[in-house]
Amino acid sequence: MLLLRTIMSTVAITIAANLGLCFCGCARAEYDINGECCPMCAPGNHVYWHCTIDTSTTCIPCPTSTYTDGPNGLLSCFPCTVCDAVHQLKVQKACTSSADTICEPQEGFHCIKLNKGSCTLAVEHSECKPGQYIKQTGTAFSDTVCVNCTYGTYSNGSLMACLPHSKCETMGLAEVKAGTMSSDAKCEKVTSVGLIVGVLIPVLVAVIVALSVCIRKYKARCCNERKN
């Protein structure tokens, strides 16, 4: 009796396992609808009527501005993505019935958020500050790279390399303001006024000394004449 029960249990388990294999899911190119496996629609199409025992799935093309990008059992297509100017985006590749829009950043911006190869958010490239040079310009997917100038060089922030400070003395000029990391040295010619002042002061001193000597001699002569 025990042996019979064991045999019956084994048979029941085997039958249940076989039934499970028979009622497995739909094939890869099919979709399930109310227990019925229907053929999927091709990309660029969607389901108009589900299949029946006697008929296959009825598919129709996606309407304008909608798409499906793979085999599907959908009753409607997905709306095409709009590249929003508010998020600094523009169209790189227009939407088709079988592929969504691909967006990219506008000029002067770079992408900081991607979804399936399409940019969904962009921000403006950084601007280098005075005292820095542009090591690498910004691209659609990377920001501007700025580097500080080294000692003895300068940049206003818009240069691709820092420039050396002008050497005023080598140009026969006078340095009136030293260069900084953001500005060049300021040089000026030796002006005629400076030259005149430089010459005039010694002349005036000599004239004053000469006049003093003359006055003293004149006074001494006058005193001698009075005594005589």
Q: Is residue 199 part of a domain?
A: no
Q: Is residue 26 part of a domain?
A: yes
Ordered DSSP codes for the chain: -HHHHHHHHHHHHHHHHHHHHHT-PPPTTEEEETTEEEEPBPTTEEEEE---SSS--EEEEPPTTEE--S-B--SSPEEPPP--GGGTEEEEE--BTTB--EEEEPTTEEEEEEETTEEEEEEEPPPPPTTEEEEE--BTTB--EEEEPPTTEE--SS-SSPEEPP-GGGGT-EEEE---SSS--EEE---HHHHHHHHHHHHHHHHHHHHHHHHHHHHHHHHHHHH-
Q: If you search the block for the tokens 């959908």, which residue do you land on?
A: 74
Q: Is residue 226 part of a domain?
A: no
Give the domain CATH number at 156: 2.10.50.10
- In terms of DSSP bridges, do strands 153-154 and 163-164 run parallel, antiparallel, or are they unpaired? antiparallel
**Can you tell me the distance from the alpha carbon of 101 to that of 96, in angstroms, rounded to the nearest whole number?**
7
The two tokens of residue 12 are 């029941």
Domain C-terminal end among 64, 79, 94: 79
Domain count along the chain: 3
Can you tell me the mean pLDDT for 74-96?
A: 97
Strand partners, 146: 134
Can you tell me the mean pLDDT for 27-36?
A: 94
Can you tell me the mean pLDDT for 11-30?
A: 59
Residue 54 has pLDDT above 50, yes or no: yes
Looking at 2-11, 44-53, 117-126, 183-192, which range is the least confident one?
Answer: 2-11
**AA letter at 66:** T
Looking at 22-36, 77-91, 121-135, 184-198, which range is the least confident one?
Answer: 184-198
**Can you tell me the distance from the alpha carbon of 122 to that of 85, in angstroms, rounded to the nearest whole number?**
10
Regarding whether 104 and 72 lie in a shared domain, the answer is no
The parent domain of residue 163 ranges over 132-188
What's the chain's average pLDDT?
86
pTM of structure: 0.62
Q: Is residue 196 part of a domain?
A: no
Q: Is residue 213 part of a domain?
A: no
Digit-coded pLDDT (tens) for 165-186: 999 999 989 999 999 999 999 9
Q: Is residue 212 part of a domain?
A: no
Q: Is residue 5 part of a domain?
A: no
| Better pLDDT: 101 or 198 | 101
Can you tell me the mean pLDDT for 75-98?
A: 97
| Exposure of 142 in the CB half-sphere (CA atoms within 13 A) | 8
pLDDT interval class at 9 (50, 70, 90): very low
Sign of the torsion formed by the C-alpha atoms of 189, 194, 198 and 203:
positive
Instruction: Give the end-to-end CA distance of the chain in Å, rounded to a whole number.
Output: 178
Q: Is residue 222 part of a domain?
A: no
Regarding whether 143 and 111 lie in a shared domain, the answer is no
Regarding whether 63 and 88 lie in a shared domain, the answer is no
**Can you tell me the distance from the alpha carbon of 94 to that of 80, in angstroms, rounded to the nearest whole number?**
9
Amino acid 198: pLDDT: 62
Can you tell me the mean pLDDT for 122-139?
A: 97
Regarding whether 59 and 89 lie in a shared domain, the answer is no
Which burial class, exposed, middle or buried, applies to 61 when counting CB atoms under 10 A from its CB (0-12, 13-18, 19+)?
middle
pLDDT interval class at 119 (50, 70, 90): very high
Regarding whether 88 and 73 lie in a shared domain, the answer is no
* Range from 2-6, 143-147, 197-201, 212-216 that averages highest in pLDDT: 143-147
